[in-house]
Each structure stands twice: as structure tokens, then as C-alpha cells.
Chains A and B, each alone.
Chain A
């Protein structure tokens, strides 16, 4: 700690040296970097699990793994991608960008910021360590429905619960920090309605996180009590109800979906105006749409449970509420297109990712509307159609959102340009690969292939082979991204202060390379 006290004594000094810089740092830039690197590592690990899944599904028959290990793979793929790759990825972007975009010197609660990051490596080490435990890793799906995850769970479930608790604490602290920062540390004169869209979407996301992560903590605590303290929250024998688990889980789980997509909306809303050289269309309606999506997301959870046998009134309520979400989501898509309309567009890598996002996320939105219709959802529920749907909103949605943001802001962060050719290659390979992977899943799902199965009937063989081939293309092309980032950080050309023509926002008023401490004097907001 002495190092830190020392560093705060003078201004304009660089970071501390050695490993201590990363362990003890309270600098939002360092913490943002750590979050993003962590997210990338988790993305690759989760991708590895996906490789195992797709390799086993390449052909009908059991070839590589046994069914139980296959279930461990699907479970861990989901958990690692959701909690390890996507969420920390967005928190990383927030840590880097929110202070830069609102003209703050750092996050409001820097020590807590450090803590909330450093919990994560421990949480995920614990989660991944379950592979080496008796009975293996959790094999009950990332949604861990009771009683498969309680009475019938492997012993490692207790470690899984603690890992989820730790991830939850980390996310809650991260979210609280973001809220407090946005409310208290905006540059003088910046009103809420002048904030950049990325800051707005993160503010709303952070409120969702604070509201629902504790519910996740509650549901895993109930599981823990059922397993070890003979309570019966989810055990019918003691008067509990396995369906209650699903209600509580999805009360968290559905807002979680928006937690993973709203910040991506923000990133895209920053990028499209820059490369269309035109102001974001309908800023106000964008803000209102985001707020209404967040509010609606709290009352639609049971559309994940249409087949559990709800009374018809319940089915109808959740069906209508879910369909309603299409309205504000539609508004967002229309606004992005109206921003591009009559612009003067160029297509650098961040813009390619943003356009890929709009197109493919919208396709995911369409299948979402189909899934919202309860009577036909009975045919889609728990099939590959659902798998296709949520991969369309999460891969080209959340993941492309993070990547677009990284490409967009990387020149500012590292002070050097990335290799544009490699970036475009990364985009096109990812775009083609993911469509080959996920589009055929719509077909096999409609034709009757359930999800989470290690082997399938012969009529699904062709499309599964295609999906596996696509996954191989998509997966390996991510190595380009890793190489590109290392190359840019080490030896890229020096970037201009504003690398993109017509990029607006406080972050671009800062010099490149970026000093370790920025906005030590608040900027002046015009208007």
C-alpha cells in the first residue's frame, strides 16, 4: 500500500512497477484492462468448451466424450460465457470509458473497484476446479433447475454455489460503483440528458444488476439450504415446489439477458453516429426505450416457463408483456437505421461490427417474437430453435458489442492503431462462421431436436455437421483478435488524438497516448 500512498502524492506520474501495479491498483484504466483481459481469457476457455460440444455433435453417435461430461461442458460453457466473458467484458468497457466519457478523474469508489475485479479470478478458479472433484463439475445446465441441481446434484454443487455468490458480489459492487460514479462525478454542467448513450445504457444496466443479482444470490442460498440444511424450498416432499425455483431463477434470469445486451446497445449507439458522420437519431426516444426495456424485463420472466403448466391467465399475461418488449426494441433498431440513413458512411472495423450487430441482433429479435407466442412456444421450448435464438442475441449481440467497443476505443487506450486489414478479416470470418454455426440451428430446432443432448437422430445430421464446421471457423478466427490486440499494443502505428473522423465525446478531447490520470481538472461542458 505504501506504493499507492506514494503515487498519490505527486501528479502526472506513471503507474507503479511490477505485479503490485495490478494487484493493488485503484486506477480505472488498469482495472478496466484487467477486466477486459479476464473476459477475453474466459471467452477463450468458454469457447474451448463449445469446441468439445460441437466436436461431439459433428456426427451422430457418441465419439469423444461420455454424456455426463457433455452435460458438464454445456453447463460450464453457459456459466463461463455469461458470468465470465460477457458481464466482465462490459464492466471492463465501463471502467475504461465511463470516467473518460463523463469527464471524471476515476471511478467514485476505486478501492471497491479493485476488490470487485479481484474476486472474479478466485470465483472462476473455484468453478473450474469442480472438474477435478469427485463426481465432476456441475452437469445440470447453466439454468440449474431443481431438483437436478439439488437432490440429484454432484457434490461439487456447493462450490458452484459459492462461486456464483462471489460472482454476484463482484457484479453488485461493480454496478454500485458505476451508479455512484455517474450520479456524482459527471463534469460540471453535464446533465443526465447530455450523457453519451453508452453511459445511459450502463446506468440502467447497473440498476438492473443491483436489483436482480441479489435475487440470484437468494436462489442459490435456498439451494444451499435445501442441500445441506434439510429445508424444502424446492423439494416437493417437504411442501416445496421445483417450479418455484424456476420462478425465482428467471426473475433474475430474464433481466440478466438485458444486462448482457443493454451496454451493447450503448456501444453501437456511439459507433454508428461516428461512422455515419451524423448525430444519433432520436436520442431521447433511445433513452426512454432503454428504460422501458429494463422495466418490462422485470415482469416477463415466466415466458421461459410456458410448459410448466401455468393457469391460462398467467400464460396470457406473460405472453402479452413479452410481446410488448418488441416495441421499444424496435424503436432502437429504427433509430440506428435512421442514423445511418442519409449519412456519409465509412466501414472501418468498429462500424462493421456495429452493423453486424444491428442485422443479426434483429434476426435474434424476430425469433424472440416467435418464442413469445405461448401456443407456438410449446413447439420451440427447449429445442435448438431456442439455442439459435439466444446465440443470435448473445454472440453477434453482446459479444460483437464488446468487440466493436474494443476496436473503437483501442487506439485511445493503447495509443496505437490496430491493423485494419486483420480487423476486417476478423469481422468477416466471425460473421460468416457464426451464421454457419447458428442459422442451421433454427432448422434442426423446428424439426424437433431438443437442446442439451449429446447425440441426435439421423435427420439432424447434415445441419449439425454444418454448425460444427461453422463453430470451428468462428472459434479459430477469434485467435486473430487476440493476435491483433497484442500487435496493436506492442507495435501498432501511433494513433491520432481523434482516430475516427467526426468522433464526438469527451474521451476524444484527451491526448494520445493517454496519461495515466485524466480529467484531474474537470472539462468544461459547452451548451
Chain B
């Protein structure tokens, strides 16, 4: 089959259409490896690894955003902390559902500078799951993490931001088709 025959060309078209979709996982992989766009990886499994001998302190700053004019309360319980590389830390974020109805929230993490994103390892994060909140509920949501000792030397401070999205409608929409929503896969 020659590339320039009609069948060859049709297969190029089909391939390129599929390629368009293949760009999605490809992009996610590139993001995870390079920290493009500040995306962080999923749950970190295993031990704290890396050369801890550098014994350097870095600052981490926690930021929150509410998407689409959400009126919910959402704030970090610690605004900023200083910690040695390779040390496991715990902190938490408080969310208040100010609506008079049950909702489902999803937090999306992002790191600045984006270059630091692959070095932030989260063992436990509220962003791994959808967070159902009953009307008026207040909840402290945990985050357990450490910063990789391999963090490039010129980075002394990083910002971890969570944006809270209201996904109540989306969850209701997909529930009938897919009980296990794939929504949290990337975060």
C-alpha cells in the first residue's frame, strides 16, 4: 500500500485523527516529567528517596482559589512553611460549604515555578478524591507531602495552589454511566 494511494491517504487521515487524541495522554506524560504547566503527579508510593545530605531548607507557600465565583469558604490552615528537603510534612486546608445543598468539590493542584512541580511528592492529598460536602458542612482536608532532595538549587521557594471547582452537576451527569468517575486520574 503506497502512502500516496487513496487507501494510504485515508489511513493517514485516520491515523492523524487518532493522533490528535493521542496528544492528550502524551501531553499528560510530558507535563508529569517536565512539570509543564505546574501539574503535579498522582499519589506518591514508596519511601522518601534521594540524597538528603544537602540538608537545605525551602519555603512552601499554600494558595487557594475558588473557581467560577464559588462562595464556599476555602483556606489553608498554614499559609507558609519552611522545611528541609526530603522531610515528610502534614498540613490541612479548611473548606466550608456555604450552600444550602449537598455538593461535590474537586481541588486541582498547581505549582509555581512549574519547574518545581515534579519534585513535590504527595503521599496523601484531598485532591486525589472528589470531596462530597453536605449542606453547611465544614471540613479540614489533609495533605501529606515531601519535597524531593533533587530539587534544583536555584529554587528556594515554591507555591502550591489549589483551585476548588464545583463538580456537583458533572458528577450527577456521569453517575448513571460510569459509577467510577475517572475525574481524579490526572491529579
| A touches B (Cβ under 8 A) | yes
Chain A interface residues (CB < 8 Å from chain B): 109, 172, 176, 179-180, 183, 210-219, 221-222, 230, 232-233, 236-241, 243-244, 247-248, 251, 308-311, 313-314
Closest 5 CB pairs of A and B: A218-B20, A237-B165, A239-B186, A214-B16, A214-B17
Taking CB atoms, residues of chain A closer than 8 Å to B38 are 309
A292 CA to B156 CA, complexed, in Å: 43
Report whether A214 and B13 are in contact in the complex, using a CB–CB cutoff of 8 Å. Answer: yes
- Residue contact A215 to B185, C-beta cutoff 8 Å: no
Q: Decide if B67 is an interface residue (CB 8 Å cutoff).
A: yes
Question: In the complex, which residues 14-46 of chain B have their Cβ closer than 8 Å to any Cβ of chain A?
Answer: 14-21, 23-24, 27, 31, 34-39
Could you tell me if A241 and B67 are in contact, using CB atoms closer than 8 angstroms? no
**Pairwise interchain contact B170-A238, C-beta atoms closer than 8 A:** yes
B10 and A176 contacting across the interface, CB-CB below 8 Å: yes
**Is there contact, CB below 8 Å, between A239 and B108?**
yes
Complex interface: chain B residues within 8 A of A251 (CB): 20, 23
B60 CB, min distance to chain A CBs, angstroms: 19
Q: Which residues of A contact B165 (CB under 8 A)?
A: 236-237
Contact A230 B12 (CB under 8 A): no
20 contacts between A and B (CB under 8 A): A109-B6, A176-B13, A180-B5, A183-B2, A210-B12, A214-B16, A233-B24, A237-B67, A237-B108, A238-B167, A239-B182, A239-B185, A241-B31, A244-B23, A248-B23, A251-B20, A310-B36, A311-B34, A311-B36, A313-B34
In the complex, are the beta carbons of A210 and B13 less than 8 A apart? yes
Name, among B67, B166, B183, the residue most crowded by chain A CB atoms within 10 Å (CB to CB). Answer: B183
Q: How distant is the Cα of A311 from the Cα of B114 in the complex, in angstroms?
A: 7
- CB distance A218 to B183 under 8 Å? no
Given the complex of chains A and B, what is the CA–CA distance between A308 and B174 in angstroms? Answer: 31
Contacts of B18 in A (CB 8 A): 218
Give the residues from 147 to 180 in chain B that come closer than 8 angstroms, CB to CB, to chain A. 163, 165-167, 170, 173-174
| Interchain CB contact under 8 A, B114 and A218 | no
Residues 86-117 of chain B, each 1 if its beta carbon lies under 8 Å from chain A, else 0 = 00000000000000000000101000001100
User: Could you tell me if A309 and B37 are in contact, using CB atoms closer than 8 angstroms?
Assistant: yes
Contacts known (A230-B174, A244-B24, A247-B27); A239 close to B19, Cβ less than 8 A: no
A215 and B17 contact, CB distance less than 8 A:
yes
A241–B115 CB distance below 8 A: no
Indicate whether B184 reaches chain A with its CB closer than 8 angstroms.
yes
Contacts of B12 in A (CB 8 A): 210-211
Closest to B175 in A: A230
Instruction: Give Cα A183 to B35, complex, Å.
Output: 45
Instruction: Determine the chain A residues whose CB is within 8 A of the CB of B13 once the complex forms.
Output: 172, 176, 210, 213-214
Determine the distance from Cα of A502 to Cα of B17 in the docked complex, in whole angstroms.
45
* Overall SS of chain B's interface: helix
CB-based nearest B residue for A252: B20
Closest chain A CB from B98 CB (angstroms): 19
Contacts of B170 in A (CB 8 A): 230, 232, 237-238
Give the interface size class of chain B: 35 or more
A176 near B39: Cβ-Cβ < 8 Å: no
CA A367 – CA B14 in complex, angstroms?
A: 36
Which residues on the A side are within 8 Å of B9 (C-beta)? 176, 179-180, 210
A238, B24: Cβ atoms under 8 Å? no
Q: B34 contacts which chain A residues (CB < 8 A)? A: 311, 313-314
Q: How far is the CA of A230 from the CA of B172 in the complex (A)?
A: 10
The answer to whether A222 and B167 have CB atoms under 8 Å apart is: no
Is A314 in contact with B6, judged by CB distance below 8 angstroms?
no
Interface flag for B187 (CB, 8 Å): yes
In the bound complex, what is the Cα–Cα distance between A236 and B65 (angstroms)?
A: 13
User: Min CB distance, B119 to chain A, in Å?
Assistant: 13
Complex contact A232–B183 (CB within 8 A)? yes
B69 close to A (CB within 8 Å) = no
Q: Cβ of A239 and Cβ of B20 under 8 Å apart? A: no
A106 CB, min distance to chain B CBs, angstroms: 16
With both beta carbons as reference points, the residue of chain A lying nearest to B21 in the complex is identified as A218
- The interface centre, meaning the residue of A210, A217, A230, A244 with most chain B CB atoms within 10 A of its CB, is A230
User: What residues on A are CB-neighbors of B31 within 8 Å?
Assistant: 241
Q: Is A176 a contact partner of B6 (Cβ separation < 8 A)?
A: yes
The residues of B that contact A241 with a CB separation of less than 8 Å are: 27, 31, 37, 39
With known contacts A215-B20, A237-B167, A239-B184, A311–B35 Cβ distance under 8 A: yes
Interface centre among A180, A236, A313 (most CB of B within 10 A): A236
Query: Are B6 and A210 interface neighbours, CB within 8 A?
Result: no
Please give, as numbers and ranges, the residues of chain B lying within 8 Å of A236 by CB-CB distance: 67, 108, 163, 165
| Residues in B neighbouring A314, C-beta threshold 8 A | 34, 36
What distance in Å separates the Cβ of B112 from its nearest Cβ neighbour in chain A? Answer: 9
Q: Provide the residues of chain A in CB contact with B53, threshold 8 Å.
A: none
A218 and B17 within 8 A (CB):
yes
A172 to B12, CA, bound (A): 11
- B16 closest partner in A (C-beta): A214
Evaluate contact between B16 and A215: CB separation under 8 angstroms.
yes
Q: Known pairs A218-B20, A236-B163. 16 more at Cβ < 8 A?
A: A176-B13, A214-B14, A214-B17, A214-B19, A218-B21, A219-B20, A232-B170, A232-B183, A236-B108, A237-B67, A241-B27, A241-B31, A248-B24, A309-B114, A311-B35, A311-B115
Q: How far is the CB of A259 from chain B (nearest CB, A)?
A: 14
Tell me how far the C-beta of A148 lies from the nearest C-beta in chain B, rounded to whole angstroms.
13
Q: What CA separation (Å) do A144 and B132 show in the bound complex?
A: 33
Complex Cα–Cα for A179 and B8 (A): 11
By a CB distance below 8 angstroms, the chain B residues around A180 are 4-6, 9
A300 to chain B, nearest CB (A): 16
Contacts of A172 in B (CB 8 A): 13
Which chain B residues border A212 with CB–CB below 8 Å?
16
Partner of A243, one of B24, B35, B37: B37
Chain A residues near B108: list those with CB within 8 A.
Answer: 236-237, 239
Chain A residues with Cβ below 8 Å from B5 are 180
User: B110 to chain A: closest CB distance in Å?
Assistant: 9
Chain B: minimal CB distance from A66 (Å): 23
Chain A hits for B20, CB < 8 A: 214-219, 221-222, 248, 251
Chain B residue at smallest Cβ distance from A215: B20
Closest chain B residue, CB of each to CB of A240: B186
Complex-state Cα separation, A219 to B170, whole angstroms: 21
Q: Which residues of chain B are near A183, meaning CB under 8 Å?
A: 2, 4
Residues of A within 8 A of B10 (CB): 176
Residues of B contacting A217 in the complex (Cβ-Cβ under 8 angstroms): 17, 20
B155 CB to closest chain A CB (Å) equals: 13
A176 vs B12: C-alpha distance in the bound complex, in angstroms?
A: 10
